[in-house]
Amino acid sequence: MLHLRKKKVFIAKKIPKEVEEYISDHCDYEIWDRDEQIPMDLFYKKIADKDGVLLTKIPVDQTFFQHGKNLKVVSNISAGYDNFDVDEIRNRKIIATHTPKVLDETVADLIMGLMLATARRIPELDAYVRNNKWKPTDVESLFGVDVSHAVLGIIGMGNIGEAVAKRARMGFDMEVLYHNRNRKIKAEESLGVKYADMDDLLAKSDYVVIMTPSNESTYRMFNKEMFKKMKRTAIFINASRGEVVDENDLVEALKTGTILGAGLDVYDKEPIPKENPLLEMKNVVLLPHIGSATHKTRFDMAMCAAKDTVSALSGHLPENLIPELKI
């Protein structure tokens, strides 16, 4: 009887045991199951004889493929894939997948949390109470700003942007403006959002949420000129990628009162360096890039990547090809 060789897979990060067992049912595999990222020299050794790899953040470029010469599929356990050299992947005819949609609701929840926390100064006032600074005479010094009935501007109306718009419209009765490469007529009709050009959105919005992908066209797109066009009472929210914002310009805008505040889950350098001035600013809420960080969502992301890997190695077309590779 002919026994077909099981495909070999390397998993470059810790994943839930159930997902690991799913891969084990279909493939021979090795896994890096530590919390810290795998050293690159070891990673390159591990992928040398593998057919597939599951990873996050590791650059998938020419150097990567020089070591992983047998690879047929690369699955990113992330909705974003700015670590992928798409041209290199296409030229080598490699299957590449990501994990869209499964994290949309979770990230949208976090964005609304950032808006509320920044607007009502929740982390600052939590520390104020814990440090026994609360005095009965403190009233106006503790004031924040309203979220309900305010104007929200969303830059980048993808799936997450639409999920944020739904929460803002239905839960907080906000007016929602959006700017996107293409108009989303269905979203306008179903959610009651309005398309706006960039300048109009910045001028009218009380909250500006940026949800664009990180690529050459969006690199540092949000700079001092953009902040100057915002209301002085506006709050800026970024849960997409740090590279889309000029962080020095953001710091200056916050220091000078060009904008009121910011809620951030992503940064130019991660983890955020201890000398970063954002750490000392009271009008900023800072999170450690946890947009999709719930147990359920991370499980779903890992299983999504695992199923796409098995599908590709079984000779089928995976469901979640990165968009640039779809025919």
Q: In this structure, are 132 and 267 located in the same domain? A: yes
Out of 270, 316, 319, 324, pick the active-site residue: 270
Report the pLDDT value the prediction gives residue 4, as an integer from 0 to 100.
54
Vertex 322: Cα angle to 15 and 299 (nearest 5): 20
Range of the domain at 110: 104-286
Q: Is residue 18 part of a domain?
A: yes
Strand partners, 263: 237, 285
Report the pLDDT value the prediction gives residue 216, as an integer from 0 to 100.
84
Q: In this structure, are 139 and 253 located in the same domain? A: yes
Report the pLDDT value the prediction gives residue 327, as an integer from 0 to 100.
63
Per the model's pLDDT, the better-predicted residue between 27 and 4 turns out to be 27
Q: Is 289 designated active site?
A: yes
Q: In this structure, are 265 and 300 located in the same domain? A: no
Q: In this structure, are 314 and 266 located in the same domain? A: no
Strand partners, 73: 52, 95
What does the pLDDT average to over 188-194? 97
Confidence of residue 1 (pLDDT cuts 50, 70, 90): very low
Q: Is residue 168 part of a domain?
A: yes
Q: In this structure, are 270 and 188 located in the same domain? A: yes
Strand partners, 31: 11
Q: Is residue 263 part of a domain?
A: yes
Q: In this structure, are 151 and 195 located in the same domain? A: yes
Q: In this structure, are 162 and 221 located in the same domain? A: yes
Q: In this structure, are 126 and 177 located in the same domain? A: yes
Strand ranges (DSSP E) for 274-314? 284-286
Q: Which two tokens stand for residue 316?
A: 């089928």
CA distance 83 to 105: 23
CA distance 288 to 278: 13
Q: In this structure, are 91 and 189 located in the same domain? A: no
Q: In this structure, are 277 and 134 located in the same domain? A: yes
Out of 67, 92, 120, 289, pick the active-site residue: 289
What does the pLDDT average to over 168-197? 97
Q: Is residue 278 part of a domain?
A: yes
The pLDDT of residue 3 is above 50: no
**Helix 122-130 crosses helix 104-119 at what angle (to 10 degrees)?**
60
> Looking at residue 62, which CATH number applies to its domain?
3.40.50.720
Report the pLDDT value the prediction gives residue 124, as an integer from 0 to 100.
96
What does DSSP assign to residue 326? -
What does DSSP assign to residue 153? E
Q: Which two tokens stand for residue 251?
A: 């710091």
CA distance 190 to 195: 13
* Short-list 99, 60, 59, CA closest to 79: 99
pLDDT digits (tens, 9 = 90+) for 154-181: 999 999 999 999 999 999 999 999 999 9
The pLDDT of residue 316 is above 60: yes
Q: Is residue 140 part of a domain?
A: yes
Q: In this structure, are 94 and 168 located in the same domain? A: no
Out of 98, 179, 241, 298, pick the active-site residue: 241
Q: Is residue 48 part of a domain?
A: yes
Confidence of residue 138 (pLDDT cuts 50, 70, 90): confident
Mean pLDDT across the chain, nearest whole number? 95
Place of tokens 């030229």: 91
Tally of domains within the chain: 2
The pLDDT of residue 191 is above 70: yes
Containing 293, the helix (H) or strand (E) segment is none
The pLDDT of residue 2 is above 80: no
Q: In this structure, are 264 and 308 located in the same domain? A: no
pLDDT digits (tens, 9 = 90+) for 205-240: 999 999 998 888 889 999 999 999 999 999 999 999
Q: Is residue 3 part of a domain?
A: no
Using DSSP's 3-state secondary structure scheme, residue 144 falls into: coil
pTM for this structure? 0.91
pLDDT digits (tens, 9 = 90+) for 30-88: 999 999 999 999 999 999 999 999 999 999 999 999 999 999 999 999 999 999 999 99
Enumerate residues 6+ apart whose C-beta is below 8 A from 227: 236, 249, 250, 253, 258, 259
Identity at 121, one-letter amino acid code: R
pLDDT digits (tens, 9 = 90+) for 276-314: 999 999 999 999 999 999 999 999 999 999 999 999 999
